[in-house]
Structure 1
Amino acid sequence: MNIFEALRESHDRQRGYADALIKTHGDSKERVEAYEKLKAELHAHETAEERFFYIPLMQEENGVDPSRHAISEHHEMDEMMEELDETDMASPAWLVTAKKLAEKVHHHLKEEEHKFFQIAGKLLDDKQKESLAGKYQKEYKTQLEEEQG
């Protein structure tokens, strides 16, 4: 497995959780579960991805700006989740922010897969792609276990 395949596995889960989240109502059990899954997935993925995809890409001149952009989008999503944590789930404002988060998740993943992966594909050799996948998966698993308590 290479780093792109490893990242896509989490991307697919993120899309599913984001889509499920915005279909929920009020402070229902479904909303709580969907949000907890999305939040844990995003945090675990972001941390592992930054350490074992974006930081290595920043070592290359052509990888600096795309990596900074992606990391800033991770920060934006984190801020939206903080806002959701501070808002009553039954509030209409909660769903508005959740929809913004879902849109940002979809935008970010599309941009990564259609733009950043192509840049990284040229900057990393096959050995690096495989090595980073293993490191990413190990870190992702550790982070997800911490998120899920």
Structure 2
Amino acid sequence: MNIYERLKKDHETQRDLCAKLAETEEGSSERAELWDSLKEELEAHALAEEQVFYSNMMKKTDGTEHARHSVHEHQQMTEMINELDAMDQNADIWTKKFGKLSDRVIHHVDEEEADIFPVARDVIASETANEMTERFNERKKEAVSG
């Protein structure tokens, strides 16, 4: 599995968690559990992606701007996660704010797959892309356990 396939696998998990969380009822234990799972997934994925994938893209002239844009989107999502964490999950405002986060997540992963991966394939050697998968998995595991 190369890095693009590995990242896409995470993206599918993120889409799935967002969809499931959107269907939960206020005050349900399922909402709290899914929220914790989504937060952990997004935070660990972003950290590993920045350290392994985007750090490689930033070394390439044609990849720098795309990498910066995506890292900025990660920062925006982290801010939204922190805001949601400070809110009551039973409040209407939480549900609305989560909807905005979910939209941002979907936009981000769609953009990566449609716009950034093709650029990355041009600037990152396929052998490097294959090697990045193991490092990504290690970094993500460290982020989850750490």
Unpaired segments ≥5 residues, structure 2? none
Give the SS at the match of 2:62.
Answer: helix
Pairwise mapping of residues 2-21 of structure 1 onto structure 2 (< 5 A)?
2-21=2-21
Paired with 2:125 and 2:63, the residues of 1 have a C-alpha distance of 14
Give the distance between the partners of 1:94 and 1:40, measured in 2 at CA: 18
For 1:27 and 1:105, the matched residues in 2 are separated by 23
Q: How does 1:59-98 map to 2 (within 5 A)?
A: 59-98=59-98
Aligned to 1:124: 124
Instruction: Output the CA distance in 2 between the equivalents of 1:29 and 1:77.
Output: 23
Structure 1 segments, 4+ long, off by >2 Å, are none
3-state SS of paired residue (1:61) = coil
Deviation at 1:26, TM superposition (A): 1.1
Separation (CA, whole Å) in 1 of partners of 2:53 and 2:92: 36
Distance 1:50 1:27 in 2: 34
Matched residue count: 146
Measure, in 1, the Cα distance between the counterparts of 2:56 and 2:137.
15
Shift of 1:142: 1.7
Structure 1 counterpart of 2:67, one-letter code:
S
Give identity over the alignment, percent. Answer: 34
Provide the rounded CA distance (Å) in 1 between the counterparts of 2:27 and 2:53. 36
Structure 2 counterpart of 1:109: 109
Q: CA deviation at 1:111?
A: 0.1
Secondary structure, counterpart of 1:62 in structure 2: coil
In structure 1, the partner of 2:25 is: 25
Structure-2-length-normalised TM-score:
0.97
Q: Which amino acid aligns with 1:39?
A: K
TM-score by length of 1: 0.95
Superposition CA RMSD, Å: 0.8
Deviation at 1:144, TM superposition (A): 2.0
Counterpart residue type for residue 51 of structure 1: Q
In structure 2, how many angstroms separate the alpha carbons of the residues matched to 1:144 and 1:18?
A: 19
